[in-house]
Amino acid sequence: MEAVPLNFVRAVDLKIDGKDVRVPEGTTLLQACKSVGIDTPTLCYLENLTPVNVCRVCVVEVENSRVLVPACSRVAEPGMVVQTDSERVRHSRKLVFELLGSSVDLSTAEPTFLADLERYAAEPDRFDTGDAHGHGAKATVKQPVKIDNDLYVRDYSKCVLCYKCVEACGTDAQNTFAIAVAGRGFNASIATEFDTPLPDSACVYCGNCIGVCPTGALMFKSEHDMREAGTWDESKQTVTDTICPYCGVGCTLQLHVQDNSIVRVTSPHDHDVTEGHLCIKGRFGWQFVQNR
């Protein structure tokens, strides 16, 4: 049999929402919640990325802790007493969603994101009252879509600065480091070095940033064009798992197909060959089968 080394780990006992929970040492509160069926909203967290703790959407209340703690990165400790649905937690989550939603175009956000807004009865528009000139807060961050290549577009009016793209471009997957957070405070944005167009940057068009973007700020050009033309219709799309036709690594591709055409390609985050990540050929190199 295979000689996979065994890691012996200790068990940790804690209480979540009054329930006794036992998890292996090293488990995060997010995973611990999940293990007992508690659904925690997340935004900047993804299974295949290192937690960056920037969105504060997943915060929970830990007894004797001065501040709320992010569940995605806080590790369970023996004897911890955790509240995930207290008034304080609900209020904080609601406010975070409202502040994010007030200044960002969420029209193409993941359905789970929009469902979470609803779950916490968030009303982003109450912060979007407009300035003296009648401009809403969203208008202050509104900017033109960056279209500088045929593969993918960047619409930073939709960016919530969750950093996932930076993580995927960096040490969590691609290690290309083409993008980072530039600017400070309200002017903070994701940018290439010196904010150059992508073709002048270090970008290698793996599209792994698109694969992790929760709001559609990063989008296949094919999807963008169809949305512009009003032909994008997810209800008419099928998703089929297959294997990439190029090199011999064997990456799983999920082909999103509408009207017998591939419109987008993703890879499952929980697949241990790709962990959701692809290269330029797998992500974008499918057009040859539909030059019919």
Partner 1 sequence: MFGAGGGTSAYREIEETDLIVLWGSNARETHPIFFHHLLKGKQDGARMFAIDPRRTSSVAWADVWMGLEVGSDVALANTIGREIIAAGLCNTAFVERATTGFEEYKAAVEIYTLEHGEKLTGVKAEDIRDLAHSYARADRAQICWTLGITEHHNAVDNVFAIINLSLLTGHVGRWGSGLVPLRGQNNVQGGGDMGAIPNKFVGGQDVEDPVLRAMFEKEYAGTIPDKKGWHLSQMFEAMEHGELKTVFVLGENPMQSEADAKRTRRLLEGLEHLVVQDIFLTKTAEVAHVVLPAAASWCESEGTVTSSERRVQRVRKALEPPGQAKDDIDILTALAKRLGRDWGAPTAADVWEEVRRLSPWHGGMSYGRLEQLNGLQWPCPTDDHPGSPTLHTRLWDEPVSGSRAPFQVVHHSPPVDLLSEEFPLRLTTGRRLESFNTGVMTGGYTSPLRHGERIELSPEDAERLHITAGEVVRIVSRRGSVEAQVKIDPGLRPGLTFMTLHFPDEVETNILTIDAVDPKSGTAEFKAAAVRVEKIVPVQAREPVGAGAAGGKP
Greatest Cα pair distance, the chain, in angstroms, is 72
Burial 123-139 (b: 16+ CB within 10 A, else e): ebeeebeeeeeeebbbe
> Which range touches partner 1 (CB under 8 A), out of 64-72, 128-136, 182-190, 195-203?
195-203
> Which range touches partner 1 (CB under 8 A), out of 10-18, 20-28, 76-84, 241-249?
241-249
CA 178 to CA 190: how far, in whole Å?
10
> Which range touches partner 1 (CB under 8 A), out of 29-37, 110-118, 186-194, 275-283?
275-283
| CB-CB contact of 263 with 235 (8 Å) | no
Task: Candidates 12, 153, 178, 244: give the one binding partner 1 (CB under 8 A).
Answer: 244
Neighbours of 5 (CB within 10 A): 4
Q: Which of residues 163-182 bind partner 1 (CB under 8 A)?
A: 171, 173-175
**What tokens appear for 56 in the block?**
């504060």
| CB-CB contact of 62 with 78 (8 Å) | no
285 lies in the binding site for partner 1 (CB under 8 A)? yes
Task: Candidates 114, 145, 151, 180: give the one binding partner 1 (CB under 8 A).
Answer: 151
198 lies in the binding site for partner 1 (CB under 8 A)? yes
Q: Quick one: 85 or 233, whose CB is closer to partner 1? A: 233
65 lies in the binding site for partner 1 (CB under 8 A)? no
Minimum CB separation from partner 1 for residue 72, in Å?
Answer: 20
Burial 263-289 (b: 16+ CB within 10 A, else e): bbbbbeeeeeebbbbbbeebbbbbeee
Residues near partner 1, by CB under 8 A: 1-5, 149-151, 171, 173-175, 198-199, 203-206, 238, 240-252, 255, 257, 260-262, 271-275, 277-282, 284-292
